[in-house]
Amino acid sequence: MRVIFALLLACMMLAPAVAAGQTLSTSSATIELRSAEAAPADWHSEAPPVDGWTPVKLMDLWDARWPRHDGVVWYRLHWNQASADQPAGLLVDYVNSAYALYVNGSLIYSDTHLTEPLSRRWIRPQYFLLDKPLLRPGQNTLLVRVSGLAAYQPGLGTVTVGNPASVQAQQRRGEFWRYNVQLFDQSVSLVFGGLFLILWLLRRKDAYYGWYALCTVFWSLYSFNFVASSPWPFDNTDVWEALNAAFYVISTVTFAIFLLRYAGYQWRRTERIMLMLCMALFVFALLCPQWTGRYRAVPIVFGCSTYYASIFGFMGYALRHPRADYYALAGSLLIPLVVSAHDMLLFLSVIHSDNYLLAVTSPLTIIGMGSALAYRFAVAMRRAENFNAELQREVSAATHQLAETLKREHDLALNNVRIGERLNLVRDLHDGFGGSLLAAISTLEDPRRRPDPAQVVTTLKELRDDLRLIIDTTTHERDTDLTGLIAPLRHRWSQRFEAIAIDSQWTVEGVEDLSLGDMRVLELLRFLQEALTNVLKHSSASLVHVRIRREGERLSVDVHDDGRGFDPGNLTTRGAGLPSLRVRAGRLGATLRITSSPGDGTRLSFDAPLSPVA
């Protein structure tokens, strides 16, 4: 009994000490309050409850203890102040989400929104300076009224009391790592994202610039969660958290596509499915924010898995394809890979902390990714700068090769022209001059015929004229127009007609740039020569008019004299080379028209197509 009585007495003596809490012995000391009592209450609770208090260890997240409690939880802490003559600093390290703070029953701070839309005070630690009469010697009581939703890790972190300078320095360090670093991360993301968005607009074919810019935009939207003090422009926390999860997933998917593009891959079907899932998640977050927000762990884990898979895949690709920019990009992803695992465990409440670390290493990742992209851009610029020199070398080589090719083709063309001219000359000699010569030789060799000297002279003159036509058509350039080919014939026959007092008139119209081809020109000249020979021999004319005119796509030829004429219907007068003239007109694709009557002269004419008839 004495032992039991002694234990009870000891407990009674220790109880006031526990209730009093830790003691702040000197003005230069600081203490960290890690023990507290917690009691749940409704949204409109204005005073701490009388009962229902539960001892807790800070930091405390009440979703593990009261998983369905949305509303208010009161936290009560005590510490002993040795003296109230010197002010004391108070640091509230972490509160999620909104809170009001009471010291010894007096309100010293309250967030703007203690109900939805809840203020988001967890983003940075807060410092308060306590002095008399708020601060008392002996026991001091701190009440923290925390408003939060069980789905979003509500609770209270540690509280530090003590020397103002030391406590404020601690607050500034916490604000730097939890808030300022997040702002810096966002600034770097937006700057690099904007820069590479401009590069993508200038170089649309390099799609990885655009995907990188899109990734940084959605990552900045997600990271805004760590610096926003309210869920504005939304009216409740569920919408904010739902969209925040959607932004995270979209940023990881676009990041994965960026790595694919950077490695030169396009998984169009997979990418399309992933982007459709992102769009569906975004729409679902807008339509069903409460469900999406409270179960946001599902899309977050999916996005994190995509993030890890893309990084590991790219690292494997970099090892298989060694290149400086691949190594730089893969190396910049190593540290964030480890840090993101810490943040994911913190998000899933596996571990407890007041700081997400990815923002600390994220600028390194962004700078590494930006450096890799800048390296690739610099390589492209160097190629562009060297393009003129490369182009000049290639043009010189191509010019030299083309010159050699043209020279060979020119030599071949000259040989073909020579061969063609020889063939034309052989054909002309064989068909025209050769045939006439053989006919004359046969006549002269026939013992039954006595050659008439006048007839022999006439035959020789015809052979001479035919030979001149052949010479005229073969000595001119191949591209000589019809006017240039008619000129020698016109000159010779004008002299002949002038010698026997026959006036000759020539009209040549519209054929300055006309070329009929060697064979057709020769047929035309032979036709004119035979027609003029008939005028010279048989017409007794005083005037002959030759008209050659182009009419559209046809060539009109007309030879008209004012001689004695003849009756075309009289078979006895159908000699004088008329059958030969008809044949030559037919070879030109035309039909000879003969207009004549005794005493009224003769007209020979035809209209031939400019192109040979197939």
Task: State the DSSP string of 65-79.
Answer: TSTT--EEEEEEEEE
- Rounded alpha-carbon distances, angstroms, from residue 587 to 157, 423, 521, 612: 112, 19, 11, 9
Task: State the DSSP string of 475-519.
Answer: HS-TT--HHHHHHHHHHHHHHHHHHTT-EEEEEEES-TT----HH
Q: Is the peptide bond before 97 cis (omega within 30 degrees of 0)?
A: yes
Residue spans in the chain of domains classed CATH 2.60.120.260 = 18-162
Angle (CA) 340 341 342, round 5°: 90
- The per-residue pLDDT for 146 is 97
Burial 116-132 (b: 16+ CB within 10 A, else e): bbbbbbbbbbbbbebee
- The per-residue pLDDT for 368 is 76
CB 273 within 8 A of CB 257: no
Q: Which amino acid is at 387?
A: F
Three-state SS sequence of 132-184: CCCCCCEEEEEEEEEEECHHHCCEECCEEEECHHHHHHHHHHHHHHHHHHHHH
| Rounded Cα gap, residues 163 and 169, in angstroms | 10
Bridge pairing between strands 159-162 and 88-92: antiparallel
Residue spans in the chain of domains classed CATH 1.20.1070 = 181-385
CATH label, 18-162, candidates 2.60.120.260, 1.10.3720.10, 3.40.920.10, 3.40.50.2300: 2.60.120.260
| Rounded Cα gap, residues 67 and 228, in angstroms | 25
Q: Which fold has domain 181-385?
A: Rhopdopsin 7-helix transmembrane proteins (1.20.1070)
DSSP label of 433:
I
- The per-residue pLDDT for 423 is 61
> What SS3 class is residue 554?
strand
pLDDT along the chain (614 residues), means of 10: 37 37 67 95 94 94 93 96 89 94 95 93 92 90 96 94 94 92 86 86 85 90 91 92 95 94 90 94 93 91 92 91 85 80 78 71 74 76 72 82 84 73 56 54 63 66 66 55 80 83 90 78 83 84 92 90 84 60 86 87 90 68
Q: Phi and psi for 88 in degrees, rounded to 5?
A: -125, 145
| Rounded Cα gap, residues 82 and 26, in angstroms | 7
Three-state SS sequence of 271-306: HHHHHHHHHHHHHHHHHCHHHHHHCCHHHHHHHHHH
- In 3D space, the residue among 62, 39, 59 whose CA is nearest the CA of residue 49 turns out to be 39
- The per-residue pLDDT for 317 is 92
| Rounded Cα gap, residues 203 and 459, in angstroms | 83
Angle (CA) 459 460 461, round 5°: 90
- In 3D space, the residue among 527, 517, 549 whose CA is nearest the CA of residue 613 turns out to be 517
Q: Which amino acid is at 135?
A: L
- In 3D space, the residue among 183, 181, 169 whose CA is nearest the CA of residue 91 turns out to be 169
Residue spans in the chain of domains classed CATH 3.30.565.10 = 480-614
Task: Indicate the CATH number for domain 480-614.
Answer: 3.30.565.10
- The per-residue pLDDT for 123 is 86
